[in-house]
Chains A and B, each alone.
Chain A
């Protein structure tokens, strides 16, 4: 193993970790400001100018609160739950290509921790184990509301994973590769959203459901389940659950930008090269992620929550057949283009 490569990757990993956490922290601030704006309020404005230090104050508050473990809880699993949630939220970012290659110190630095040739499958693997944090935490709390939240979360995530996977397969068909890097490279001229608007819509709805965001936030819906799966959690354990939600929101926005909106590609990128291109690419990618985050939050403060049977109905009877038909049509068109008929 090349030592320089090792150092480069380690720096990238640490940087990614910090950026994900920082983005998640400031997303809480952004969400509160946005909610305030939509509801015609002021929002947090006490800590620092425009309340810009609010996330730090919240973090300190979380750490200083009493860390309480219920007497009847399964102590070991109760502690592991939030950690697992955070872990699965963070590891997806390893395969995300964040920008074109940088040239620094005479080296080409790929802004991607691991360019594995099954990147998109890795993302789905992480999604499929992402439910463990919520399930284990909710069950270990030994509280009926937590258990209800955990059961809702897991059945919802299992149901929406299918339609999500099928709609992502169309992208694989288009680009002919499972590597996220190759998928981004294949969108240099035309973004996938132009070919696959239906798949994008399905993917976006499923991503909302996987994230447990409104209008699919049934696992933690406060009007029915007190706090849902994290009812019994306090202090930084609760903080980790909330943080994990925002981190996965950040990462899944990145994944959606990669699959459908060209990743770091932007119009007129052929006029630039070298480090300028890399920096502009990163900026374009960050803008796309920011727009997705904004839309997800906008939806939360606009649309009321689904009922659980409506959620299942939508997932199994509308989105899954629709995505299968979409896959079939895509396959037929590609076969036709390749002259198989």
Chain B
């Protein structure tokens, strides 16, 4: 019962901070709300005893990716709150696109477990690093290795793009 209450509180806090990402007019504050959202998602993983997933979510999303977001926004100097001009057509297109994404998400998620139910299984070992490692390196080894090759290709590509002009740094 108390688990359910905690999960409801966490869920509503996650939703609230996620909403604030969109509603906040200040880009840097939006990013900070996004970091807070990731923290709440991390806490949900911990509730399900998925420790490894939780900490990786924190390192990769809340740590690395959001730091880069913040970095770019700071350099862009969006300090003055400029409202970008949008035409009526663009607004309509955005409405339709967002609405259809919402529809797709709802159909995809309607059969998933109701929040709180999954926490009952909070002693499960499936999210621990040992289980995950065994699965990744036996059952899903091909997918795992292919993903890592993809990442290396992306990294090499990014470095090549950045190095296109020959720079001489002493």
Contact = CB atoms under 8 A, between A and B. Distances in A.
B107 interface: no
A210 B23 CA distance: 34
Interface in B25-64: 28-29, 32, 35, 51-52, 55-56, 58-59, 62-64
Given A118-B55, A135-B67, A154-B71, A129 B28 contact: no
Contacts of B71: 135, 151, 154-155
A132 interface: yes
Contact of A116 (B32, B51, B75, B79): B51
Contacts of B93: none
B74 interface: yes
A129 B128 contact: no
Contact of A129 (B56, B63, B79, B169): B63
A30 interface: no
Contacts of A151: 71, 74-75
Nearest to B79: A142
Interface string A123-144: 0110011011001100100100
Interface string B77-117: 00100000000000000000000000000000000000000
A125 B58 contact: yes
Given A117-B128, A122-B55, A129-B58, A309 B74 contact: no
B144 to A, nearest CB: 17
A150 B71 CA distance: 9
Contacts of B35: 129, 132
A139 B74 contact: yes
Contacts of B59: 121, 124-125, 128
Contacts of A158: 64, 67-68
Contacts of A314: none
Given A121-B55, A136-B32, A128 B64 contact: yes
Contacts of A121: 52, 55-56, 59, 129
B13 interface: no
A155 B72 CA distance: 11
A117 B169 contact: no
A251 interface: no
A128 B55 contact: no
A77 interface: yes
B20 interface: no
Contacts of B18: none
Nearest to B51: A118
A124 B58 CA distance: 9
Interface string A147-160: 10011001100100
B70 interface: yes
B108 to A, nearest CB: 29
Contacts of B63: 125, 128-129
A23 interface: no
B61 to A, nearest CB: 10
A307 B129 CA distance: 40
A144 to B, nearest CB: 11
Contact of A309 (B51, B52, B169): B169
A309 B111 CA distance: 53
A159 to B, nearest CB: 12
A178 interface: yes
23 contacts: A116-B51, A117-B51, A117-B129, A118-B55, A121-B52, A121-B55, A121-B129, A128-B63, A128-B67, A129-B35, A131-B67, A135-B67, A135-B70, A136-B70, A142-B79, A147-B74, A151-B71, A158-B64, A158-B67, A158-B68, A309-B169, A309-B170, A313-B169
Interface of B: 28-29, 32, 35, 51-52, 55-56, 58-59, 62-64, 67-68, 70-71, 74-75, 79, 128-129, 169-170
Given A118-B129, A158-B68, 18 more contacts: A77-B32, A117-B51, A118-B52, A118-B55, A121-B52, A125-B58, A125-B59, A128-B67, A129-B58, A129-B63, A132-B35, A135-B71, A139-B74, A142-B79, A147-B74, A158-B64, A178-B129, A309-B169
